[in-house]
Amino acid sequence: MPRYALRIEYDGAPFNGWQRQAGQPSVQGAVEGALAKLEAGLPSIAAAGRTDTGVHATGQVAHCDLSRDWDPFRLQEALNYHLKPAPVAVLAAARVGDDFHARFSAIERRYLFRLLARRAPATLDRGHVWQVTHPLALAPMQEAAAHLLGLHDFTTFRAAQCQAKSPVKTLDEITVEAIPVPHGTEFRFRLRARSFLHNQVRSIVGTLERVGAGAWTPGDVKDALEARDRAACGPVCPPQGLCLAGVGYPSDPFA
């Protein structure tokens, strides 16, 4: 059966996450429903990452096995037709080898988290940013984030229900930038790693926000990391500001 990789964008607001669940709307369910309109009885698809409820994606990658030899562009167009009106779009489709696996072949995941600091409510970006009404200081958050870069035991920033075999992960990149917006500031957190623990990004951003607000010092984040204790973590921020921005492979299947 020919195998295809799909690059997928979606608004996570109306879904209970990526993973298919009985009686609950999911992104996987929406994509598999569209595929079923093209070919019946297909096996389930696999994704690079199982995003949680309310989390968005601009660069999710999944793969599927089809019985027909589809032209990738026609497959993309057909899927987008059948995905309407769900807020899900296939940005690209590509024929890949049988050894390609969306999850296990990936060598990095990239996440973007958007935090809006202003008193006026978010309008155009509502549901796509975490909004706080108090100002935040950029430099202390950048200093605190530097303590998290590299190989660490991230037990502190790991959800209690995380099923990963080990809390030890390498955070290859973490940056924080401030972008002026009307009557406020948008802070963008970019994180890159081979893989992440459950709620790791949201736990990190929620903790860094406390630093920006002045409730924590950058040194407190270092101490929390070294504590290797979930109780030492700051508050976990809400999901709506989080977006899976991309997945990297040894060679780009969509090149």
The one catalytic residue in 52, 172, 229, 252 is: 52
Are 152 and 44 found together in one domain? no
pLDDT of 168: 97
Q: What is the CATH number of the domain that holds 22?
A: 3.30.70.580
* 98 and 152 belong to one structural domain: no
pTM of the full predicted structure? 0.96
DSSP string, 80-107: HHHHTTSSEEEEEEEEE-TT--TTTT--
The answer on 128 and 70 residing in a single domain is: no
**Dihedral over Cα of 201, 6, 89, 177: its sign:** positive
Enter the tokens of residue 43.
């096996």
Give dist(CA 65, CA 77) in Å, integer. 17
Give dist(CA 154, CA 151) in Å, integer: 9
Give the pLDDT score at 189: 98
Do both 98 and 119 map to the same domain? no
Instruction: State residue 81's pLDDT score.
Output: 98
Residues 90 and 206 in one domain: no
Domain with 177, as residue range(s), is 108-246
Length of the chain: 255
Q: Are residues 75 and 8 in the same domain?
A: yes
Q: CA nearest 55: which of 217, 200, 209, 216?
A: 200
Whether residues 132 and 236 share a domain: the answer is: yes
pLDDT of residue 150: 98
Q: Is the dihedral of CA 161, 207, 155, 200 positive or negative?
A: positive
Q: Which of 75, 105, 135 is the last residue before a domain boundary?
A: 105
Which pLDDT value is given to residue 21? 87
Quick one: 156 and 191 in the same domain?
yes
User: Would residue 252 count as lying in a domain?
Assistant: no
Mean pLDDT by groups of 10 residues along the chain of 255 residues: 96 96 94 94 90 97 95 98 98 97 98 98 96 98 98 95 92 98 97 97 98 98 97 96 98 95
Shared domain for 33 and 151, answered yes or no, is no
**Is 52 a catalytic site residue?**
yes
The tally of domains found in the chain comes to: 2
Other CB atoms within a 10 A radius of the CB of residue 241 amount to: 27
Tell me which of 105, 140, 172 is where a domain ends.
105
